[in-house]
Amino acid sequence: MQTLIQSVLTLRRDASERDALADTLEADTLETVDVLLAGTQIQAVASAGTLLRAANQRVIDGRDKLLLAGFVNGHTHSSQVWQRGLIPQLPLELWLANVFESTPRQLDQIYWGAVSTAVDTLLSGGTCVMDHAYVIPGQEMETVAALVRGYRAVGLRAVVAPLIMDLPFASGFPKGCLLPQSASPRSASELLALMEAMVAEFHDPDHGIYIGAGPTGFHRCSDDLLAGCADLSQRYGLCYHTHLLETRAQHRLAQERYGISAVQHLANLGCLGPRTSLAHGVWIDEADIDRMAKAGATLVHNPVSNLRLGSGLAPILKCVQRGLNVAFGCDGSASNDAQNLLEVIKLGTILHTVTEADYDHWLTPAQTLRMATVGGARGVNLGHCTGRIAPGFDADVILYNLNHPSLLPSTNPLQLLVLGRPTEVVESAWVRGRQIVDQGRLLTVDVTALHHALLQPSSPPQRAQTQHHPVEPHYRNVMLNR
């Protein structure tokens, strides 16, 4: 069946979007259009009143509604749903010590984590997620199977990039670590073989499920693993996704270990390319930005998490000015205790005024909405099929109810969607042409079952750990007592 959405507001398509070639971020006005969804795709977009109803079409009255391409949550860790609210505010390295201790270890938790992440994504305007996924040691295939089952159950488009690493936790600290080293994880070759098996088993672009190559980050990975993932990415066309220079400690570690910029090091290993998305990049400099832009890579900005962990301010305005593609991520629920894309986009829109006095350079809602859609799609290597409302693109679209009290009075819907605090405004959502949300309700999964699982977990959440983990004195000494 086809769906015709008539007379609906949308972001004005600029010339570049009409031919789907370039990614200018300039359009900031609305236009009223008719949109025809057919099969898995958007079949037509035309000025309002020009697409006439055919016999086999369901018609939706788009008046007082806004249609946007679905956002991409460019970086999260779905299992952390179980840890939201749990971990104190600490710098990443100390926070991680707490996260590990309370990480869920059961496959049903993994499944419900994916379902919860998918539902929160949809109800905050997203249709696709990059799950940089924790995998249970020894149950790696089973973990990915549970995640895929979760995303399929909801119907979200998902890239699952298992977090893999072959260096121990302590190697992520500058100046080594005086504590007993944690057990070394699997070797690079074992991990790469495992990834090949996962690609064979789960990578399924025709049905919106993808495997990504997701080395945790240079701080936890050997060069063999980093480069091996680049090889995988190239051979199978996978998104290459990794943490990059999230913290000042990682910046110091890169200097210590490589003597050159971490970004240059990744480039030297062949890890920077148009399929590469790098999460955080708080501590990249202008030369790094230029390297990443030249390679066609994507920076995934996680503003809530960056503040929550005190990681710093990513240089997003510079990235935009220098032509680097930027996407948004929620990051996991242990460092952003919600998975709401509209919240992340709002903060990303207003935060960077603190680094720039000239208001002509401030990000506008239209710009950040494009980052969340076009930019996000590119970041997960899916810029050819999602992130735009244009003929031939997959029908990954969200219909917002502009008459919801949180979007009133009717002033500028784009500004209010981004700068307000909209709640329950997603009226309908389609992913690959399939309607997943109608009247604000999920059509695929039973959210009361999800609620029940979160309410009475099979393994009750642990209470917050102490702020003073054994690794703390070392960290304090290295990072604060300079």
Chain residues in the site for its own copies (CB under 8 A) = 81-86, 88-91, 94, 248, 304, 307-310, 312-313, 336-338, 340, 343, 347, 349-351, 353-354, 356-359, 362, 364, 403, 405-413, 415-416, 419-421, 423-424, 447, 450-451, 454-455, 457, 460-461, 463-464, 479-480
Based on CB atoms, which residue is closest to its own copies, 182 or 459?
459
* Distance (Å) of CA 336 to CA 298, 304, 310, 407: 21, 6, 12, 24
At its nearest, how many Å lie between its own copies and the CB of residue 434? 24
CA nearest to 158, candidates 125, 196, 132 = 132
At its nearest, how many Å lie between its own copies and the CB of residue 204? 30
Based on CB atoms, which residue is closest to its own copies, 132 or 308?
308
Based on CB atoms, which residue is closest to its own copies, 90 or 164?
90
At its nearest, how many Å lie between its own copies and the CB of residue 394? 28
Based on CB atoms, which residue is closest to its own copies, 207 or 468?
468
Q: Is the peptide bond before 180 cis (omega within 30 degrees of 0)?
A: no
Which residue reads 């405004």 in tokens?
Answer: 425
3-state secondary structure string across the chain? CEEEEEEEEEECCCHHHHCCCCCCCCCCCEEEEEEEEECCEEEEEEECCCCCCCCCEEEEECCCEEEEECEEEEEECHHHHHHCCCCCCCCHHHHHHHHHHCCCCCHHHHHHHHHHHHHHHHHCCEEEEEEEECCCCCCHHHHHHHHHHHHHHHCCEEEEEEEECCCCHHHHCCCCCCCCCCCCCCCHHHHHHHHHHHHHHHCEHHHCEEECEEECEHHHCCHHHHHHHHHHHHHHCCCEEEEECCCHHHHHHHHHHHCCCHHHHHHHCCCCCCCEEEEECCCCCHHHHHHHHHHCCEEEECHHHHHHCCCCCCCHHHHHHCCCEEEECCCCCCCCCCCCHHHHHHHHHHHHHHHCCCHHHCCCHHHHHHHHHHHHHHHCCCCCCCCCCCCCCECCEEEEECCCHHHCCCCCHHHHHHHCCCCCCEEEEEECCEEEEECCEECCCCHHHHHHHHHCCCCCCCCCCCCCCCCHHHHHHHHCCC
At its nearest, how many Å lie between its own copies and the CB of residue 403? 6
At its nearest, how many Å lie between its own copies and the CB of residue 174? 14
Based on CB atoms, which residue is closest to its own copies, 51 or 249?
249
At its nearest, how many Å lie between its own copies and the CB of residue 348? 11
At its nearest, how many Å lie between its own copies and the CB of residue 221? 26
At its nearest, how many Å lie between its own copies and the CB of residue 257? 22
At its nearest, how many Å lie between its own copies and the CB of residue 103? 13
Based on CB atoms, which residue is closest to its own copies, 298 or 335?
335
Based on CB atoms, which residue is closest to its own copies, 333 or 381?
333
Based on CB atoms, which residue is closest to its own copies, 194 or 313?
313
At its nearest, how many Å lie between its own copies and the CB of residue 160? 22
**Could you count the other beta carbons within 10 Å of the beta carbon of residue 165?**
22
Based on CB atoms, which residue is closest to its own copies, 298 or 349?
349
- 143: Cα separation from own chain's centroid: 19
CA nearest to 451, candidates 73, 76, 104, 120 = 120
Based on CB atoms, which residue is closest to its own copies, 424 or 438?
424
At its nearest, how many Å lie between its own copies and the CB of residue 285? 18
Based on CB atoms, which residue is closest to its own copies, 41 or 339?
339
